[in-house]
Amino acid sequence: MKKILTVIAALSLLAISAGAQELGNFAFGRGPQVVSPEINGDKTTFRLNANYATIVNLVGAWMENPYGQGIPMTKGEGGVWEITIDTPSPEIYTYSFIVDGVVMSDPLNVFVQRDGSRYLSMLMVPGERTENYFEAKKQHGTVSHRWYTSKILGIDRRLTVYTPYGYEQNPNKKYPVLYLLHGAGGDEEAWSSMGRAAQILDNLIEKGLAEPMICVMPNGNPNQMAAQTLGLPTTEMDWRDPANRTSYVRSLCEEIVPFIEKNYRAIAKPSSRAIAGLSMGGGHTISASALYPNMFAYFCPLSAAGALTPEQAAALKKANPKLYWVACGNTDFLWKGSLELKKLLEDIQLPGFEFYESDGGHVWSNWRLYLNTLAPKLFK
Amino acid sequence: MKKILTVIAALSLLAISAGAQELGNFAFGRGPQVVSPEINGDKTTFRLNANYATIVNLVGAWMENPYGQGIPMTKGEGGVWEITIDTPSPEIYTYSFIVDGVVMSDPLNVFVQRDGSRYLSMLMVPGERTENYFEAKKQHGTVSHRWYTSKILGIDRRLTVYTPYGYEQNPNKKYPVLYLLHGAGGDEEAWSSMGRAAQILDNLIEKGLAEPMICVMPNGNPNQMAAQTLGLPTTEMDWRDPANRTSYVRSLCEEIVPFIEKNYRAIAKPSSRAIAGLSMGGGHTISASALYPNMFAYFCPLSAAGALTPEQAAALKKANPKLYWVACGNTDFLWKGSLELKKLLEDIQLPGFEFYESDGGHVWSNWRLYLNTLAPKLFK
């Protein structure tokens, strides 16, 4: 017994040194051992081993111009480039280094998010605003990637399903469902990665601030089977063709909702169904309220705009939604459109209508805030 | 109706141009539109927009020295660096660019895998060997990230569970379970990302080559709640302390196996339990065969070494395993240790013993091959 355990321990050490890695360490192993990013109270330092680089810049989402060239870092001993900034206010920010004109993520930072086809490093500043964006202390739900068949779209498709902590331990309990839709450029992983949806729901539910709920995050690109990281072919369907325009919302309401209610312990009635979406997904949400007003009791278009015909508005009003929560940032390029939607819904005196104005624009910091704000309003 | 749809379509276009992106496109938007990598039959080209770089190299896992400086790329028109190589034999390879001495992944390639704390671009060369590493044509299982409580380790921990296509549609069917363990430096995402476990099992099951099975991929670092990408604290437990050494294997056999058999429709008997693991996980597998010889009928240590006491060997023989499949690459640093294990198991004439020799060393190309080879042998 002792012998085999010694062997196992030795093995582990060997394997650690070999690192189970296919490529060498280069910059990681060669330069000085440094940490990046390092948050020290109100100062944050970024570092990069780049002894042979000529210019290294830092660009981050907290900057006035996150689309610019960023700010220069300074080369120090051993070829470590460094910059210390005032820690930005609590939020999850993306950032990159620009090394001799080439944008790259921070090789010392394991926290990375994928935004479409791009991988960006994350700076996670703790604070009251971000409290629910970090992992919950104790109670974690399950996040699954699952497939369903869409006859309307003619393909099998992947979706992400969050079931709350306790779902499996309470086999007779049924749960309400939030359908949470991403924007253009996103996919079925957007809300669970950039949106921190599982963390936000875990925390809210653990604190008793939100009802335990299932959250379904489908892929909103009707020509796509799954996120492009799976390498699957897309269909040639022209989804701007009038005949196809409503296909996605139809597939959502006529295929995904029944699929979820068949395969999960979901409460299959409107008062236990909510739909929320950002940007393009906000358009889908508005469209669902126009085309399926009786299916959901909660509609939350986020950073989106869209109109309803008088007939649709009347049908929606008659459906008597519990909540119609329109949220937008006041520097968003869709701010004006959101105000138009607000006016339309106020004019018809829609039950449950609420308008939520935030600072900022068309960015994930707002969408995380909106999810954290709207989830406690659901299913009460 | 028409109006709202027009608005939605317009919205989608707007949102696409805004890109839902928090940082600008820099190199992506500025330079010429290029593709990387591009496989053209027996030639493969890599490209990088890097007008201001002085030296750009390519280093890949197919090279004779994947730990070296790689090979130089050539700067062409518009600042696009390029190199064309002979397409390596079918496999999934990792590669990086080295830009003025700094290692980075390929910004034009959406296929990325995380190896511990590092993100590496993937070159996926199709062919007979890799056929099962790509997404299955039609039948996809579900991949879940789920939490369980370990009293032995004193923490809640995350594991990855694959349930095969049809699991949900056949609510009365029970399934055998493969416990699949990663190596040092890995975590509960290693097999499902680098190991392509879901793709391999989907394909084998779809083709009728493997039995439909559940596959459980736990986190084998006993001081860790989950992959470091979740940012959770680690415990201070010294898992090399003799008192703690067996904790992980105990937690696996006494906590994870019962958890799975309680929460999934698993067949709860030895002939429907298999355990396989690579490197450190191979050590765990050997350890399970020494400490719990009657729990599993299938043991598959991969690229690993380890010994059994005479008493353990006798108990294992008495347990009469259906398969004890030892696999190793003939250039692996554990090749000799594998041969010693082979000799030990041959000497005792262990039922079910098989030895599988492959080319190559301690790398994922072998571990994917081993999973693809061993899964059809299970539960027949």
Give the C-alpha separation, A366 to A356, whole Å: 11
Per-residue confidence band for B287, with pLDDT thresholds at 50, 70 and 90: very high
**Could you tell me if B115 and B194 are in contact, meaning their C-beta atoms sit under 8 angstroms apart?**
yes
- Closest partner residue to B50 (CB to CB) among A11, A15, A101 is A101
Taking CA–CA distances from B304, the nearest residue in chain A reads A11
**Cβ pair B1:A305 closer than 8 A:** no
Query: Any idea which of A244-258, A304-318, B126-140, B181-195 has the lowest mean pLDDT?
Result: A244-258
* DSSP codes of every residue in B16-84: HHHTT-SS--THHHHS----SSEEETTEEEEEEE-TT-S-EEEEETTSS-TTS--EE-EE-GGGEEEEE
C-alpha distances (whole Å) from A150 to each of A284, A297, B94, B198 are 17, 24, 34, 21
Rounded to the nearest angstrom, the minimum Cα separation between A270 and chain B is: 23
Instruction: Give me the residues paired with residue A123 across strands.
Output: A93
**Secondary structure in 3-state letters for A172-238:** CCCECEEEEECCCCCCCCHHHHCCCHHHHHHHHHHCCCCCCCEEEECCCCCCCCCCHHHCCCCCCCC
| Residue B271, both tokens | 């002939």
The secondary structure of residue B210, as a DSSP letter, is S
Handedness of CA A304, A305, A309, A313 (dihedral sign): positive
Residue A9 has pLDDT above 90, yes or no: no
Residue A28 has pLDDT above 60, yes or no: no
Query: What stretches of A237-298 show up as alpha helix (H) in DSSP?
Result: 242-245, 247-251, 257-263, 280-291
B315 touches chain A (CB under 8 A): no
B21 touches chain A (CB under 8 A): yes
The DSSP bridge pattern shows strands B298-302 and B273-278 to be parallel
Which residues in chain B have Cβ-Cβ distances shorter than 8 Å to A230? 135
Rounded to the nearest angstrom, the minimum Cα separation between A95 and chain B is: 7
Instruction: Give me the residues paired with residue B234 across strands.
Output: B224
Please give the helix or strand (H or E) that residue B245 lies within, else none.
helix B242-245
**Could you tell me if A88 and A95 are in contact, meaning their C-beta atoms sit under 8 angstroms apart?**
no
Q: Tell which B residues from 205 to 234 touch A, by Cβ distance under 8 Å.
A: 226, 228-232
B120 touches chain A (CB under 8 A): yes
| Residue A88, both tokens | 């930005």
B20 touches chain A (CB under 8 A): yes
- Closest partner residue to B7 (CB to CB) among A3, A158, A306 is A306
The confidence score (pLDDT) of residue A353 equals: 98
B154 touches chain A (CB under 8 A): no
**Could you tell me if B171 and B197 are in contact, meaning their C-beta atoms sit under 8 angstroms apart?**
no
- Closest partner residue to A364 (CB to CB) among B22, B53, B124 is B22
| Residue B238, both tokens | 């010294």
How confident is the model over A39-54, as a mean pLDDT? 96
B64 touches chain A (CB under 8 A): no
Considering only CA atoms, which of B322, B329, B328 is closest in space to residue B289? B322
Q: Using the CB atoms, write b or e for B269-292: b if 16+ within 10 Å.
A: ebebbbbbbbbbbbbbbbbbbbbb
Per-residue confidence band for A243, with pLDDT thresholds at 50, 70 and 90: low
Residue A374 has pLDDT above 50, yes or no: yes
Rounded to the nearest angstrom, the minimum Cα separation between A125 and chain B is: 13
- Closest partner residue to B22 (CB to CB) among A12, A61, A101 is A61
Which residues in chain A have Cβ-Cβ distances shorter than 8 Å to B246? 5
Query: Any idea which of A141-155, A187-201, B14-28, B298-312 has the lowest mean pLDDT?
Result: B14-28
Which residues in chain A have Cβ-Cβ distances shorter than 8 Å to B81? none
Query: What stretches of B70-226 show up as alpha helix (H) in DSSP?
Result: 190-193, 197-206
End-to-end CA distance of chain A: 57
B274 touches chain A (CB under 8 A): no
Give the C-alpha separation, A211 to A194, whole Å: 23
**Mean pLDDT for chain A?**
91
B4 touches chain A (CB under 8 A): yes
Residue A7 has pLDDT above 60, yes or no: no
Q: Tell which B residues from 160 to 179 touch A, by Cβ distance under 8 Å.
A: 165, 168
**Cβ pair B101:A15 closer than 8 A:** no
Per-residue confidence band for B230, with pLDDT thresholds at 50, 70 and 90: very high
Per-residue confidence band for A8, with pLDDT thresholds at 50, 70 and 90: very low
Rounded to the nearest angstrom, the minimum Cα separation between B15 and chain A is: 6
**Mean pLDDT for chain B?**
91
The confidence score (pLDDT) of residue A360 equals: 95
pLDDT tens readout for residues B167-190: 988 989 999 999 999 999 999 999
pLDDT tens readout for residues B69-85: 999 999 998 899 999 99
Look at the block and give the residue holding tokens 């707002």. A366
Considering only CA atoms, which of A124, A136, A142, A141 is closest in space to residue A203? A136
Percent of chain B residues topping a pLDDT of 70:
90
Per-residue confidence band for B153, with pLDDT thresholds at 50, 70 and 90: very high
A120 touches chain B (CB under 8 A): yes
B258 touches chain A (CB under 8 A): no
Per-residue confidence band for A334, with pLDDT thresholds at 50, 70 and 90: very high
B243 touches chain A (CB under 8 A): no
Rounded to the nearest angstrom, the minimum Cα separation between B299 and chain A is: 16
Look at the block and give the residue holding tokens 């085999």. A4
Residue A242 has pLDDT above 70, yes or no: no
Which residues in chain B have Cβ-Cβ distances shorter than 8 Å to A245? 5, 8-9
pLDDT tens readout for residues B313-365: 999 999 999 999 999 999 999 999 999 999 999 999 999 999 999 999 999 99
The confidence score (pLDDT) of residue A19 equals: 36
Please give the helix or strand (H or E) that residue A121 lies within, else none.
strand A118-124
Please give the helix or strand (H or E) that residue A84 lies within, else none.
strand A80-86
A135 touches chain B (CB under 8 A): yes
**Cβ pair A144:B143 closer than 8 A:** yes
Rounded to the nearest angstrom, the minimum Cα separation between A96 and chain B is: 8
The confidence score (pLDDT) of residue B30 equals: 54
- Closest partner residue to B232 (CB to CB) among A49, A135, A165 is A135
**Could you tell me if B275 and B298 are in contact, meaning their C-beta atoms sit under 8 angstroms apart?**
yes
Taking CA–CA distances from A101, the nearest residue in chain B reads B52
Residue B203 has pLDDT above 80, yes or no: yes
Rounded to the nearest angstrom, the minimum Cα separation between A351 and chain B is: 21
Which residues in chain A have Cβ-Cβ distances shorter than 8 Å to B105? 104-105, 119
The confidence score (pLDDT) of residue A171 equals: 87
The confidence score (pLDDT) of residue A31 equals: 63
A10 touches chain B (CB under 8 A): no
How confident is the model over A348-366, as a mean pLDDT? 97
